[in-house]
Each structure stands twice: as structure tokens, then as C-alpha cells.
Amino acid sequence: MAVEDAAVLGKLFSHLRAEDQISTFLHAFQDLREDRCASVTQAEQCNLYFQMLPAGPQQEERDHEMRTRTAQGKSAFGGGEAAEQWEQLKELFGYDAEDEADDWWVKWGLLRERAKQRSLDMEGMKTHLNNIHIQ
């Protein structure tokens, strides 16, 4: 998680051009990381539960299902609760923190920068028109 945090911060702050962007980037970091951290925590809890089932009917059913699938030449994670667990793990490890930060920049960061530039352009135009009118 710490490496992902660093990757997101690095990507976001690679676009830093003015001090007023810092708070925006920190808010973006919070938005990007909060859901990810919650989903990783939830996935890890499910994974722990799946792997550490206490001896009993659920554990025996899980083991039997996985042995049967393996004996049939299929993936042990191909069905039932094991398949759900496998999908969560693939999603967990398939995440690219830098891609998420790049997506945020393209969707929101550039939009904000363009809006700020347009606002500055409008202020400049108003100042220029006022100066012409005064003369």
C-alpha cells in the first residue's frame, strides 16, 4: 500500500506548476486512495477467512470442491467461493496506481487547469478592455 501511495503522489505531483495545486492534488490523493485502501482491507479479510476456515463442514466442503476440480483437470479456483476469492485476488494485484493517478489527471486535473487558465484569460481581457475604455 505504501508503494502505491508513493506512486500516486509522485504521478500527481509531477504535474505541479503552482502552489495552489497542492491542496487539489492532496484531495485527489485522498479520493483515489480511500476506496482502494478500503477494498484491499476487505479483500484481505475475505482471503484470510477463506484460507483459515476452522475445521468443520465449511472447510471440508471447500477442500472437497477444490480437490474435485483439480482431479477433473480444472482450476481449483474455478467455482463457488474459491472463484470469488480468485477474482478478488486478481483485482487486488492487477491494480496500477500510476494509471489511476493518470486517469484522474486526464479527467479532472487538466479540466481544472483549463478552467483556471480561462478565468485568467477573461480577467486579462476585462483589464485590457477597461484600459482601452479609460483612454
102-128 tens-digit pLDDT: 999 999 999 888 888 887 677 776 776
3-state secondary structure of 72: coil
Assess whether 109 and 43 both reside in one domain: yes
Confidence of residue 44 (pLDDT cuts 50, 70, 90): confident
Note whether 75 and 90 are same-domain residues: yes
Question: Does the reported pTM lie above 0.85?
Answer: no
The answer to whether residues 77 and 18 belong to one domain is no
Residues 45 and 103 in one domain: yes
Give me the helix-helix angle, 21-51 and 97-104, nearest 10°: 140
72 and 44, same domain (yes or no): no
Decide: 88 and 69 in contact? Cβ < 8 Å: no
